[in-house]
Structure 1
Amino acid sequence: MSIQKIEPGMPESQSADILADNLARLKGLFPELVTEGATNGRTGPAINIDVLKALVGDATVTDADEKYGLNWHGKRAARQLALTPSTGTLRPCPEESVDWDTTQNLMIEGDNLEVLKLLQKSYAGKVKLIYIDPPYNTGKDFVYPDNFHDNIQNYLQLTGQVEGGRKISSNTEASGRFHTDWLNMISPRLALARNLLSPDGVIFISMDEGEVANLRKVCDEVFGEENYIATIAWEKRTNRENRKSVSSRYDNIIVFCKDKSFISDAIGQLPMSEKALANYKNPDNDPRGLWKSDPATAQAGHGTKSQFYTFVAPNGMKHELESGRCWLYTQSVMQQAADDGRLWFGRDGNGVPRIKTYLEAKDRGLTPETIWFAEDVGTNESAKNVLKEIFDGAAVFDSPKPVELIRQMLLMATRKDSIVLDFFAGSGATGHAVMLQNAMDGGKRRFILVQLPEPCPEESEAKAKGFATISEITENRLKRSAEIVRNSQDATFDGGFRKYYLASSNIRRWNSAPSTLESSLLDHIEHLVENRTTEDLLAELLLKLGLDLCVDIQVREVAGKTVHSIGSGVLVACFDERISVADAELLALGLVSWHKEQTPAGEVTCVFLDSAFENDVAKTNLAAILEQHGIAKVRSL
């Protein structure tokens, strides 16, 4: 046995290949559907359309133009973009992180399309809640242009990290592609986001009237119309907007779940607000606890004959019905309630009877509604004021969302150990909300925030405060809000985050264009990118092998070599630059010994630098010893 070298195109060299995974699932269900050979100039597995028609019937397979749905120029390319694997990586940045060794939170700087691809293997099916506030299509907001052929290079150019950067422009209505550009931006990102949701996962998307209709149609296609939950009207302002012909008072929050068969786990009840709780009192020392009184009558049209009567209170006072009203219960039920002390007649005992509603009966919570009022969840203005307090009076972000708004979503759709994702992180309000909620209820929710390093406008307060990019605001808000939560809540919580940023792969040959892989001269020179560290390589392995970016990493000297053990030994990596024939046996035996100590839960993968081995003998000997002891998956970079 020898060590297998990870080559371009192999699963370990790129993010999840969703297209290949889809084909594999189809082949597993219907082997006859997938054929091999040359199709449309390409080789490999393909769908046999004739077999598909035979399996499901001709009438259910169509490529006709006249069909119900949302279509736009570039839709097919946008769909393909979501299916194209990324060869990029995320580079760790411990010096800009907080509590790197212990935190379970992530803050990632980069183009969210590529980041979502890179997160697929590690977090697919694990995210309970996604909240995004994507750019509204106003003609002023940043549009994410995507280069189908080389998205990483496109991103590096746009953000000025390589020469030849292009100007970041607005999406103006005069461009003729006003809605099209926005749809091409949002649709592949939603497709990738859906893969990350757990079966009982939920996505909340903020949007104004400009694209809400299109957004709903895109979500119907991506998530399935049957998985639509609601469109929530959030009262984003309380003052009248006089500059418009009709003042816009609310924004929309579209809500979809991954799979509505899990709806009872996807959406839960909301706890009562402090304002609502204040209505529950106990002026008569009722042994059943706190209560509030509700009307004992209803509209007459809802009643039966048995609900029209003169009610006689325990003190003998008669109570007649008002016109158009009936009693809520029949006479015998009302009488029993009075005898049990479950009716309230006012402090003087002579008032119109009212039903006692006990707080204990409401402990299960309240069903969420489709209107969220400003007094409960805040407004754009209140969120801006909070941000000013955080940033010493500076308005560093134009339209932040209130922390209370996002907390409402957390209360509805997360458990105390859920993963929460926001890939349009903006001011970082989602991270702030997660930390605050954890501090309030003892939860261990984790956040993953992704933000493009979009330049702050030259004349902005953010620029005057020294922030070059929006992602710098995100990062700074997380650090400052953690301190604010810590000072306001008497509780412990995870106030840290690991920061990563998007970059091209650490392995030169993995960065090569597919058309030049075989002939690339880079294959014959040093294959590691200059100035990349062991930590960079480890992060890339975590992503490409599907391990959590916050997994525990242990370091040990084994046979004079530095070895990293990740996830209790699921991944073992040694990036020492020289492994001689003499070293190979001692290193292999040391790895076997450490492996026995850790007893990892899954299959073990060992990774080494290919160039480190003195010769093929060293490589073969090391691999053979590992295999003899049950470690068969050995790879080299």
Structure 2
Amino acid sequence: MEDVAKGVVPTTFWASDDDVAELELGVMSWAHAESGTSEVGLRELNAVVGRGHGFDTVKPLKLMQKIIQLWCPPTGTVVDPFAGSGTTGHAVLALNESEGADRRFILMEQGRPERGDSYARTLTAQRLAKVVSGDWSNGKGKPVEGGFEFRQLTKNIDAPALLQMEREEMVDIVVSSYFDSSRRRGPNLERVGGPENRYLVARNSEDEGFYLVWGGSENNADFDEDVYEACVAEGNNAELKPKYHVYGRYNLFSTPGVHFYQIPDRILADFGLDVRTEAYTEVER
């Protein structure tokens, strides 16, 4: 506490194979003169975009610049998921200009669309554009090197990506839940990836394959003869033994060499498939 009260000078090093950069940042206690205040941040924002923006909780540039210098190397990337008025992006652009650095930034801001107030477009992006161009509201800005891209997310869902995420979660459940009492030490299963495998997800130390029949809540999750043949082909390609551990909803095909594990209804419900309300599929035998 005594050192903090007096102000300890922090030093940060960004090392590479070729050189080591040393940067002294001033006192750790960071008095107002060193880090700024919210009032200073508001004045800085007004200077760039003018008054009337309705954003009152503004971080000061000095504070963000110090944090960036401490935690982001000169060629690093700064991510701010709650960008607000864009102070973080402004700080990166200003530091790059003064230090000759090449930092990048990713800012995310939703704003308050329910009030017709999208900060991302009307304030965050507007501020950054004015910082780059030097066209400040108070007429005292100077152009800086650099720029940015503005991207707006839509409500469209990337269905394949979402399905892949669901499948990865299901595979995690299979791998973590499997237990073989004869193997009490070490991992029971080793994951097997690759786009060539639709069902094969893991193998054990005996080179036996583990297969997951899951293609999303709207697709087949039952083990039938067609799925069996596909599992055999994938197992052969992976040079696994002809012994198949299969996870699925229902076992509709019985054959030697297959060990079937039914996925609990509770887990299926978590992934959007509720077998209590879904009609049973008629199967010809």
TM-score scaled by length of structure 2: 0.45
Could you say which structure has the larger radius of gyration? 1
* Normalised TM-score (structure 1): 0.21
- Bigger relative CO (Cα 8 Å, ≥ 6 apart): 1
